[in-house]
């Protein structure tokens, strides 16, 4: 009855923590491709190859449903995976859908013409690969009109968070926010378009100002997954145990994961 959660590193733990609180009886298998993080500087084919390998490992662990708790993988690989790779008895879902639904206040299956939404000026903070993909802008344009999106590629931020260097991470957040606000001085909303970034949520909010509404994906994905599993209970896989897998150094990854979640997390080699 397990569900898989994948991220290039530890950022997806923000999603895992939220979904585990929402679904306490479901065991989750988490896969961190820490040896190859960050994905945000890789090309689309490389991201696709590494993402499919990780998803296959989670299928082996008994997870018929896998959440890509990684915006870069969702942006650069998911559409290709869904079109030609995923077998009919498996599902792989990304983190964009709940975010787009929240921002546009309409369900994903609503195919009515694009319409005006509550916000006009949106800041997007994401990895370089996510920004290059323009996946967020593309999906938003299907559903909303009149929304100006200014994207800021946050180079170096994931590396700093993965290394546990929060002083550097805070400096980078403030630098990237300053760069974006030179292009869009008064955003109404800001998207934390990487699952690592909620670990720096307070710094983003402070740098942006209290009047900017922050959208981060963990709680949105958790609510969406709960609803999905109510409608598709058969997609809960046969796996029985919660586990944490990493391609990196298990001791180092466990130490940083424990620091992030403020509870003991023990990874094993993938």
Tens of pLDDT, residue by residue over 19-68, are 999 999 999 999 999 999 889 889 999 999 999 999 999 999 999 999 99
d(CA 106, CA 98): 10
Q: Let me know if the fold of 2-96+218-269 is the same as that of 99-216.
A: yes
Residue 39 confidence (pLDDT): 92
In tens, the pLDDT along 79-122 reads 999 999 999 999 999 988 888 888 888 887 788 888 898 899 99
Whether CATH 3.40.50.1860 fits 2-96+218-269: yes
> Does residue 213 have a pLDDT over 70?
yes
Residue 247 confidence (pLDDT): 98
Q: Tell me whether residue 194 is one of the annotated catalytic residues.
A: yes
Residue 187 confidence (pLDDT): 97
In the chain, where are the structural domains located? 2-96+218-269, 99-216
What band does 216 get if pLDDT is binned at 50, 70 and 90? confident
- Burial category of 269 from C-beta neighbours within 10 Å (exposed 0-12, middle 13-18, buried 19 and up): exposed
Catalytic residue among 2, 15, 32, 70: 70
Considering only 87-101, 106-120, 154-168, 237-251, which range has the smallest mean pLDDT?
106-120
Assigned CATH topology for domain 99-216: Rossmann fold (3.40.50)
Q: What is the DSSP letter of 196?
A: T
What band does 219 get if pLDDT is binned at 50, 70 and 90? confident
What band does 1 get if pLDDT is binned at 50, 70 and 90? low
> Does residue 8 have a pLDDT over 90?
yes
- Burial category of 235 from C-beta neighbours within 10 Å (exposed 0-12, middle 13-18, buried 19 and up): middle
Catalytic residue among 194, 207, 225, 245: 194
Q: Tell me whether residue 63 is one of the annotated catalytic residues.
A: no
What band does 12 get if pLDDT is binned at 50, 70 and 90? very high
Q: What is the mean pLDDT of residues 145-149?
A: 93
């Amino acid at each position: 009855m397990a569900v898989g959660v994948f991220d290039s590193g530890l950022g997806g733990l923000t999603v895992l923590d939220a979904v585990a609180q929402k679904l306490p009886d479901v065991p989750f298998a988490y896969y961190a491709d820490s040896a190859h993080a960050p994905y945000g500087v890789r090309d689309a084919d490389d991201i696709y190859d590494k993402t499919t390998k990780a998803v296959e490992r989670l299928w082996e662990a008994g997870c018929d449903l896998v959440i890509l708790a990684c915006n870069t993988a969702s942006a650069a690989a998911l559409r290709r995976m869904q079109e030609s790779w995923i077998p009919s008895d498996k599902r792989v879902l990304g983190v964009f859908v709940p975010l787009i639904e929240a921002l546009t206040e309409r369900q994903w299956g609503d195919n009515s013409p694009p319409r005006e939404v509550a916000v006009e000026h949106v800041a997007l903070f994401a990895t370089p690969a996510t920004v290059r993909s323009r996946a967020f802008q593309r999906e938003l344009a299907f559903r909303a009109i009149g929304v100006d999106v200014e994207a800021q590629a946050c180079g170096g931020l994931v590396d700093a968070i993965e290394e546990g260097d929060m002083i550097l991470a805070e400096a980078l957040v403030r630098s990237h926010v300053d760069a974006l606000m030179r292009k869009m001085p008064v955003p109404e909303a800001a998207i934390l378009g990487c699952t690592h970034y909620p670990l720096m949520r307070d710094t983003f909010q402070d740098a942006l100002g209290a009047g900017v509404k922050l959208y981060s994906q963990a709680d949105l994905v958790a609510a969406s997954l709960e609803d999905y599993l109510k409608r598709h209970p058969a997609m809960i896989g046969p796996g029985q145990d919660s586990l944490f897998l990493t391609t990196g150094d298990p001791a180092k990854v466990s130490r940083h994961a424990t620091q992030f979640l403020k509870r003991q997390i023990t990874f094993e080699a993938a």
